């Protein structure tokens, strides 16, 4: 019998990482001094999440996919992805600006890396005063104009900067140039890929005095040079009902701001569902069992558990993510 699954986080030491994963999300990332990323659910090779609750404790995500197949993933999801888990769920703490970067789409990523592409979304959990991020260009662009700005040292002048606050959502399709700015703690939902092309890293050096590798030429064919009038996702928060904040080919994400118990019948999804607790605490109740979830926790609901109740203690905010139907 499958049940709601929790996993041990995989903590990543990053040159730009900070302390918020510990101070705000209450995760102990020792012996690291700082932590840039906490990988919450991952099937990425050599970074496979291990279950920490119940009778499957100690098994990896990839092991239980092979064991339970469509019962875990959903029949259509398993047919599409087989034994590869299609999403990677992270918390990111930017104590400094991340590099200017871009991710390739599926065809290019497969051709070059035998990997999925990397479309992602960000939900801002906490933002320092005047914190910013970069998403896309602020003017019409093409490859030649882009290269002129790159070689002239004026690339930052043509990138779209956004002031951000808690609750903001940004959808970052593969190809969109971007960076997470200093002072942001966010939840990231993305395709299961670790392919990143760094374009500019502010000439930073690590503790050994080395600069990080850049991928300037590789990025040229990956960048979407189009200008878009809006980069921030708009949504209207509602109480005690799901609000769709992102729908893409790869995943759909709802936000749930709960003050009362609600019932979820997700049989039509034919997909596993991931819950990310953004604030507060509560339970997921199915039949006679209850699984607790608190701020900073991430939980995977197997597809075969297709109806259950979400019960806040006071109030609770969740992201609900599943694989979009074709």
For 14-45, what is each residue's pLDDT tens digit? Answer: 999 999 999 999 999 999 999 999 999 999 99
Q: How confident is the model at residue 208 (pLDDT cuts 50, 70, 90)?
A: confident
> Does position 97 have pLDDT exceeding 80, yes or no?
yes
- Distance between terminal CA atoms of the chain? 28
Q: Which residues of 125-144 are buried (b: 16+ CB within 10 A; e: fewer)?
A: bbbeeebbbbbbbeeebeee
Distance CA 239, CA 48 (A): 35
The answer to whether residues 13 and 32 touch, using CB atoms and an 8 Å cutoff, is yes
> Does position 205 have pLDDT exceeding 80, yes or no?
no
For 178-191, what is each residue's pLDDT tens digit? Answer: 999 999 999 999 99
Domains of the chain: 5-233 (2.60.120.10), 243-322 (2.60.120.10)
For 272-285, what is each residue's pLDDT tens digit? Answer: 999 999 999 999 99
Q: Which of 92, 127, 98, 123 is nearest to 21 (CA)?
A: 92
Q: Is 198 one of the catalytic residues?
A: yes
- Active-site option among 71, 80, 198, 212: 198
């Amino acid at each position: 019998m499958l049940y709601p699954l929790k996993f041990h986080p995989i903590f990543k030491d990053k040159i730009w990482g900070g302390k918020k994963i510990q101070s705000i999300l209450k995760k102990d990332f020792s012996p690291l001094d700082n932590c840039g990323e906490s990988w919450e659910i991952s099937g990425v090779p050599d970074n496979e999440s291990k279950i920490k609750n119940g009778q499957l404790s100690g098994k990896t995500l990839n092991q239980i996919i092979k064991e339970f197949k469509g019962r875990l993933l959903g029949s259509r999801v398993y047919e599409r992805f087989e034994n590869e888990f299609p999403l990677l769920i992270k918390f990111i703490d930017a104590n400094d600006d991340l590099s200017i970067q871009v991710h390739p789409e599926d065809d290019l990523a497969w051709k070059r890396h035998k990997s999925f592409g990397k479309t992602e979304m960000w939900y801002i959990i906490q933002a320092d005063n005047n914190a910013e991020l970069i998403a896309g260009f602020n003017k019409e662009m093409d490859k030649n104009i882009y290269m002129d700005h790159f070689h002239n040292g004026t690339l930052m002048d043509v990138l779209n900067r956004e002031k951000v606050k808690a609750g903001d959502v940004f959808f970052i399709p593969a190809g969109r140039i971007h960076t997470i700015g200093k002072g942001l703690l966010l939840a990231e939902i993305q395709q299961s890929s670790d392919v990143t092309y760094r374009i500019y890293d502010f000439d930073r050096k690590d503790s050994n005095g080395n600069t990080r590798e850049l991928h300037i030429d590789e990025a040229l064919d990956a960048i979407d040079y189009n200008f878009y009038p809006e980069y921030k996702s708009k949504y209207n928060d509602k109480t005690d009902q799901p609000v769709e904040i992102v729908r893409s080919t790869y995943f759909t994400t709802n936000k749930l701001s709960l003050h009362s118990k609600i019932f979820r019948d997700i049989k039509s999804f034919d997909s596993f569902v991931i819950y990310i607790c953004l604030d507060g605490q509560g339970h997921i109740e199915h039949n006679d069992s209850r699984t607790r979830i608190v701020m900073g926790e991430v939980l995977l609901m197997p597809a075969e558990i297709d109806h259950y109740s979400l019960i806040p203690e006071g109030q609770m905010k969740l992201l609900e993510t599943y694989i979009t139907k074709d």
